[in-house]
Amino acid sequence: MKKNNQFFNVIICTLFIISIILSSQCSSPEKPGEDASIKYKIEAADLYDAFSKNEEEANQKFLNRIIEVNGPLASIHTDAKNNTVLFLLDDLFGIRCSLDSTYSASNKEVLIGLSPGENIRVKGKCNGLQTDVQLSECVILNSKE
């Protein structure tokens, strides 16, 4: 009987440890929202240059990290999923900032007040380089400087 109890206890402990390991690995990554901590602050031109000159090195430094980017707004668009997208520097070769949908919905006045050429600060998760540097789940930190 003692052997059965010991075996049962070992099984329960093992399952408990496995569940802790799996839950820590499967937890969702930090979202960039307004209160998330920023890993890097960088000018839009410097971020684009970093990826243009050495994409592998830039990925090691910025990929999947929450960063703050400061630069001139080139344009505002709506993507196929009806999300607001801001382009810094240039529409094709710059920084593409996909705004967090909750943020966009509750900050329409801020978005309406934006105009091309003005400097803005955006915080978001860096997703690497395609034709432009991709940031997702972005929020605007300060649109007037």
Neighbours of 52 (CB within 10 A): 12
CA-based nearest residue to 125, from 138, 113, 116: 138
**Mean pLDDT, the chain, whole residue set:** 83
Instruction: Tell me the mean pLDDT in the region 73-82.
Output: 89
Question: Residue 66: pLDDT above 50?
Answer: yes
pLDDT per residue as tens digits for the range 3-51: 666 776 767 657 666 666 655 444 344 444 455 688 899 999 999 999 9
**For a pLDDT cut of 90, what percent of the chain falls above it?**
54
Span 59-78, mean pLDDT?
95
Averaged pLDDT for residues 87-106: 90
CA separation for the pair 46, 59 (Å, rounded): 14
Structure tokens at 5: 């109890």
Structure confidence at residue 118 (pLDDT)? 95
User: What pLDDT sits at residue 28?
Assistant: 42
Helix (H/G/I), strand (E/B), else coil: 2? helix
Q: What is the pLDDT of residue 143?
A: 55
Residue 17 has a pLDDT of 63
Q: Give the contacts of 86 (CB within 8 A, at least 6 positions apart).
A: 73, 75, 76, 96, 97, 99, 114, 120, 122, 138, 140
The dihedrals phi and psi of 34, each to the nearest 5 degrees, come to -60, -25
